[in-house]
């Protein structure tokens, strides 16, 4: 793995994970403070805001990075085109949001809550997203991460302020959405410092845009389907339990997810240049590293969900523990599916990726509606797993030519994971949960390094580089 990719991954890890962890902890505290029912309503508001804010981008960030990594591109014109289109999309999103809020929800308190979350989030995301994509395309992950950190910490401190002052859920909604406004202002300031001239028009940013739009919309909707559909087929309390349990793996995925973000621009660059051999080698490396890290962070939550729910939320949220034990598997599955998907996207097969996601989206709707209605939190959790497995099957089908190489790269990771699950289930290592988790993690790492010589040598090489100070952060 190149020094620049590694350096960017480190920036993303410490920046994004730091802000995500703080936000997750404060969100959990907020859930304990307002209760399952109110947190269920808050989760629905955030889900709608996430969906509508996405429409300010609708896949443009992917075409922007694709064009920005091409040689001799007029970056001023490209950034200006990107911003103008996003602002137009923001206006449309606000109008659509208004009708959704007032058509689907009769309770004026719910309408007000959702409105305060949705409208500022849309506006802030429009400006924030331009900066994040620009610096990501430049592989300046330190700056793009800073924008996410600003948003995350602003949101966390705002909600912590609400808890300390014993304020209302409406104030929590305002604090959450204002964090995006703050990050948006900083984004424009940083672009101005880069001496970006907001003028000109680059038509190529719209080439195959519709494929990225469909793909992006469905990717964004998939994790939001749970709260939205469960909100119609089960109680708000169940939505609250599911959303809280889902929050933990969504934060955990950010750890292997930073690897995908760091690899993405380089994969696009290799794909644009037609260097398929190096592109495939880098994709295999991404898959191996992501699956290793994804399994590592998921093991404690798959094997001991009761401990984490009790520690983070308290005994009143015990109903969420069964959901967490299932949902934690999402981290493992996404660590496999995302590299397979990125491989297709960065060699120009976005249409294939979109087809897989569309079919999976239909499956997910039925899974959440049927299983959520019948089994509540656990049913929703299994629906999420069915969704991720469907993605892996679809991507594997269209990667048939190289699936053997991809599968070979993760075989020791998967085998070690299964051995750890067997040990946890059938062997009583110790009665102390934290000690047992540490031992399981150690066993997993030890088995992988023992069986996989290539991974062992990669880690040794990385440690040697750090010692020699060849990686300058």
**Residue 58 near residue 200, CB atoms below 8 Å:** no
Does the structure show a pLDDT above 50 at 469?
no
Do 245 and 331 touch, CB atoms closer than 8 A? no
Ordered alpha helix ranges (H), 304-427 = 305-312, 321-327, 329-346, 350-398, 403-426
pLDDT computed for residue 10 by the predictor: 62
Degrees, nearest 5: CA angle 187-193-197: 90
Q: What is the pLDDT of residue 419?
A: 92
The helix/strand/coil state of 207 is coil
The CA-to-CA distance between both ends of the chain, in Å, stands at 16
With a cut of 90, say whether residue 428 has pLDDT above it. Answer: no
Q: Which range, 117-126, 145-154, 350-359, is most confident? A: 117-126
CA distance 465 to 380: 45
d(CA 287, CA 206): 29
In this prediction, residues 293-315 reach a mean pLDDT of 85
Distance CA 284, CA 367 (A): 31
Among 15-29, 193-207, 419-433, 449-463, the range with the most confident prediction by mean pLDDT is 419-433
pLDDT at 308: 85
The more confidently predicted of residues 41 and 420 is 420
Count Cα atoms within 13 angstroms, Cβ side, for 242.
Answer: 35
**Which pLDDT score, from 0 to 100, does residue 468 have?**
56
The whole-angstrom separation of Cα 149 and Cα 250 is: 16
Question: What tokens appear for 31 in the block?
Answer: 């859930």
Report whether pLDDT(448) > 50. Answer: yes
Distance set, CA 467 to CA 198, 456, 457, 462, 471 (Å):
44, 17, 15, 9, 9
What are residue 471's phi and psi, to 5 degrees?
Answer: -100, 115
CA separation for the pair 153, 161 (Å, rounded): 12
What is the chain's mean pLDDT, rounded? 80
Q: What's the pLDDT at 473?
A: 38
Comparing 7 with 234, which gets the higher pLDDT?
Answer: 234
pLDDT in the model for residue 299:
92
- Three-state DSSP at 94 gives helix
């Amino acid at each position: 793995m190149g020094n620049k990719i590694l350096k960017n991954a480190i920036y993303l890890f410490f920046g994004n994970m730091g802000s995500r962890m703080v936000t997750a902890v404060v969100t959990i505290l907020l859930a304990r403070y307002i209760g399952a029912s109110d947190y269920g309503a808050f989760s629905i508001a955030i889900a709608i805001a996430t969906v509508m804010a996405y429409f300010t981008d609708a896949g443009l960030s992917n075409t922007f990075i694709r064009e920005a990594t091409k040689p001799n591109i007029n970056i001023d014109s490209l950034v200006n085109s990107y911003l103008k289109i996003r602002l137009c999309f923001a206006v449309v999103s606000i109008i659509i949001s208004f009708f959704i809020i007032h058509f689907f929800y009769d309770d004026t308190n719910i309408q007000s809550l959702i409105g305060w979350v949705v409208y500022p989030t849309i506006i802030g995301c429009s400006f924030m997203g331009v900066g994040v994509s620009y610096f990501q395309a430049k592989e300046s992950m330190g700056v793009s991460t800073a924008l996410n950190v600003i948003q995350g910490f602003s949101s966390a401190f705002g909600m912590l302020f609400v808890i300390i002052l014993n304020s209302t859920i409406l104030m929590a909604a305002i604090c959450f959405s204002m964090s995006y406004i703050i990050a948006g202002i900083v984004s424009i300031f940083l672009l101005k410092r880069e001496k970006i001239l907001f003028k000109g028009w680059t038509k190529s940013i719209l080439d195959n845009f519709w494929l990225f739009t469909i793909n992006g919309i469905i990717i964004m909707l998939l994790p939001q389907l749970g709260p939205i559909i469960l909100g119609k087929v089960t109680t708000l309390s169940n939505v609250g339990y599911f959303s809280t349990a889902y929050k933990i793996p969504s934060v955990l995925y950010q750890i292997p997810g930073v690897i995908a973000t760091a690899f993405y621009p380089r994969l696009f660059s290799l794909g644009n240049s037609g260097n398929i051999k190096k592109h495939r080698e880098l994709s295999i490396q991404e898959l191996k590293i992501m699956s290793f890290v994804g399994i590592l962070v998921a093991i404690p939550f798959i094997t001991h969900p009761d401990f984490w729910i009790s520690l983070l939320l308290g005994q009143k949220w015990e109903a969420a523990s069964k959901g967490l034990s299932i949902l934690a598997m999402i981290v493992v599955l996404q660590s496999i599916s995302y590299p397979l998907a990125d491989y297709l996207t960065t060699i120009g097969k976005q249409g294939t990726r979109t087809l897989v996601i569309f079919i999976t989206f239909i499956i997910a709707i039925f899974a959440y509606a049927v299983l959520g209605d019948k089994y509540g939190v656990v049913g929703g959790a299994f629906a999420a797993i069915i969704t991720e497995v469907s993605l892996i099957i679809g991507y594997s089908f269209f990667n048939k030519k190289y699936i053997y190489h991809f599968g070979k790269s993760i075989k020791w990771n998967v085998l070690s994971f299964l051995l750890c699950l067997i040990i946890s289930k059938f062997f009583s290592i110790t009665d102390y949960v934290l000690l047992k988790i540490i031992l399981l993690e150690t066993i997993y790492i030890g088995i992988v390094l023992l069986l996989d010589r290539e991974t062992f040598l990669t880690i040794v090489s990385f440690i040697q580089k750090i010692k020699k100070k060849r990686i300058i952060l």
